[in-house]
């Protein structure tokens, strides 16, 4: 690195750190969202632009998620829900699906024994049609959910083999079965009852839903739950998502006035 480039980098880093500190002070001055949901998008495009294999993009995406969990703890965000793998993602190449399943297996094993999970009393729950997943992944999900089932300080939800429409169908079928059994009457069905039959019945609906990669759509994610969520889209690919990007999203949420249809 030439002296001129070295000086430019120092100036750039100083400016970045100054802005990050200013933004953090602003964010900490207001209540954070209680529940943040994230559509993690752009792993493959990030890898392509960086000249890396797509496998590296997914691996870096997993590392980024670990960082975001820390950021949520720092800002006092109690519930984090991430969209990791949709039902449609099974249509990708067998090699890519196999790699993602291996990453999920590694992540679940780590979460089961992670010190921070138990110290911060983080309840972990996997959302989705788990019957579509390999047996070893299903067993791990059962184990990690079981060891954290009594925790209620923080919540970490991972949507795997998930589809918003399928979740609604699943909820409606459960309710219909109870009607057939005579447990409830059809005219007793209301919004609250439907919410109680969703995968996320243990947490409030998301306050903030953000998506990376520049795509401006919700891709069948939390269709019922995000009825009144604030939406935030950023052009940054998921593996390149920085703490400053996360704080910008939170600060934007804090500056909005939520009206709930009023």
pLDDT tens string 215-253: 999 999 999 999 999 999 999 999 999 999 999 999 999
Helix H segments across the chain? Answer: 3-28, 43-49, 54-75, 94-113, 115-119, 135-148, 164-180, 191-196, 243-255
Please say if the pLDDT value at position 9 is more than 70: no
Please say if the pLDDT value at position 39 is more than 60: yes
In angstroms, the Cα distances linking 147 to 73, 121, 140 are 20, 10, 11
112 alpha-carbon distance from chain centroid = 18
pLDDT at 16: 86
Distance, first Cα to last Cα, the chain: 57
Please say if the pLDDT value at position 89 is more than 60: yes
CATH code for the structural domain at 32-163+206-254: 3.40.1180.10
Cβ atoms of 20 and 64 closer than 8 Å = no
Mean pLDDT, range 32-47, rounded to an integer: 97
- Domain ranges for the chain: 32-163+206-254
Mean of per-residue pLDDT scores for the chain = 94
pLDDT band at 155 (very low <50, low <70, confident <90, very high): very high
CB proximity list for 94: less than 8 A, separation 6 or greater: none
Catalytic positions, please?
A: 41, 89
> What are the structure tokens assigned to 10, written together?
């120092």
Within 10 Å of residue 18's Cβ, how many Cβ atoms?
A: 10
């Amino acid at each position: 690195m030439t002296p001129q480039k070295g000086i430019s980098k120092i100036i750039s880093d100083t400016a970045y750190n100054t802005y990050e500190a200013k933004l953090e002070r602003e964010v900490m001055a207001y209540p954070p969202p209680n529940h943040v949901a994230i559509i993690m998008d752009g792993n493959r495009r990030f890898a392509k632009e960086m000249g890396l294999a797509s496998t590296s993009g997914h691996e870096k995406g997993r590392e980024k998620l670990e960082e975001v969990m820390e950021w949520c703890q720092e800002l006092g965000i109690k519930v984090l829900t991430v969209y990791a793998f949709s039902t449609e993602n099974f249509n990708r190449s067998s090699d890519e699906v196999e790699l993602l399943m291996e990453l999920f297996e590694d992540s679940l094993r780590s979460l089961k024994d992670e010190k921070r999970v138990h110290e911060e009393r983080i309840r972990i729950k996997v959302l989705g049609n788990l019957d579509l997943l390999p047996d070893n992944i299903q067993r791990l999900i059962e184990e990690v959910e079981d060891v954290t089932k009594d925790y209620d300080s923080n919540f970490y939800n991972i949507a795997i083999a998930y589809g918003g429409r399928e979740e609604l169908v699943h909820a409606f079928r459960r309710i219909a079965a109870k009607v057939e059994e005579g447990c409830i009457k059809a005219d007793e069905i209301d919004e609250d009852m439907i919410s109680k039959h969703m995968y996320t019945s243990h947490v409030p609906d998301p306050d903030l839903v953000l998506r990376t990669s520049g795509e401006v759509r919700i891709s069948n994610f939390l269709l019922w739950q995000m009825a009144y969520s604030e939406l935030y889209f950023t052009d940054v690919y998921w593996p390149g998502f920085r703490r400053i990007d996360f704080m910008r999203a939170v600060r934007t949420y804090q500056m909005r006035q939520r009206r709930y249809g009023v």
